[in-house]
Structure 1
Amino acid sequence: MFKKPALLLSILCLIILSACSSGKENSSIAGGSSENAIAAEEELTITATNYSFDKEEYHLKKGVPVKIIFKNESGNHGILVPELELRLDAKTSSQVIIPEEAGTYEMTCAIMCGSGHSSMSARVIVE
């Protein structure tokens, strides 16, 4: 007696779950976005070595899509700029972002890399 309603309910739940999870997420939150969604007008390469980045400051233009490329020359490092929704490492080595607000943002190493980790930082300046 309860077999048919339970079966129909189960099938309905499966259909709803499959509909909710199909397709790729396309979320674009202010400051960052997926590389596939936006064509970059500029490129910036950031290189990391043990306990330092190749520059103390990186300059970006407000409203201009830029492809950030991360290169790791020694050690295990990453970059993190929460305000720009930017996080890169060996697994995800590039991302296109559009800096929406002018300002100076702190960029830090995203991976605990040893004794000099806490001093590994630089500034990203959006003009």
Structure 2
Amino acid sequence: MKKLLVLLMGIALVMAIAACGSKDTKSAGSTTTPATSAAAGGQQVVLKATNFKFDQTEYRVKKGEPVTISLENAEGMHGASIKEFKINLDNSKKTATFTPDKAGSFPINCSIMCGTGHANMKTTLIVE
């Protein structure tokens, strides 16, 4: 029984570490990107997730204007959570639309345990 438990814990650890694993280690150049205008007149934000980081350190949008936010997993399996706006994106729900009703800086965290760097996988949504 004890050996089975140790084996299962080992498998779970390997799966968690491998979730973000990939040979591709490209990094994005820019650290801040304003939201782009969507065809329907709203703002659009694309969160590109790679091993233990998002492609930008912050994303800027305007208060009171609709925002469509989407998650693109370029490397590994990740999620994105913005608690203040009740946004939770993952592989089953990759896009959400909302209208930010308050200005400020709001943390965006990876919401899927993706390995050893998971705790540091953060970025910021800035509503102006």
TM-score bucket (shorter structure)? 0.5 to 0.7
Aligned twin of 2:55: 54
Backbone CA RMSD of aligned residues: 1.1
Aligned twin of 1:13: none
For 2:70 and 2:124, the matched residues in 1 are separated by 16
Contact 1:40 1:66 in 2 (8 A): no
For 1:76 and 1:45, the matched residues in 2 are separated by 16
Aligned twin of 2:12: none
Q: Secondary structure at the match of 1:118?
A: helix
Aligned twin of 1:84: 85
* TM-score under structure 2 length normalisation: 0.67
Contact 1:75 1:113 in 2 (8 A): yes
1:93 positional shift: 0.3
For 1:60 and 1:42, the matched residues in 2 are separated by 7
Aligned twin of 1:108: 109
Q: How does 1:1-127 map to 2 (within 5 A)?
A: 41-127=42-128
1:74 positional shift: 1.0
Aligned twin of 1:21: none
For 2:125 and 2:71, the matched residues in 1 are separated by 14
Deviating runs (4+, > 3 A) in structure 1?
none
Letter in 2 for 1:80: S
For 2:41 and 2:88, the matched residues in 1 are separated by 17
Structure having the higher Rg: 1
Query: Any idea what the Cα deviations from partners look like across 1:25-74, whole Å, max 9, x if unmatched?
Result: xxxxxxxxxxxxxx661211110001000000000110100110110011
- Size of the aligned set, in residue pairs, is 89
* TM-score under structure 1 length normalisation: 0.68
1:85 positional shift: 1.1
Q: Secondary structure at the match of 1:58?
A: strand
Contact 1:81 1:108 in 2 (8 A): yes
Unaligned runs of 5+ in 2: 1-39
Q: Secondary structure at the match of 1:92?
A: coil
Sequence identity (%): 39
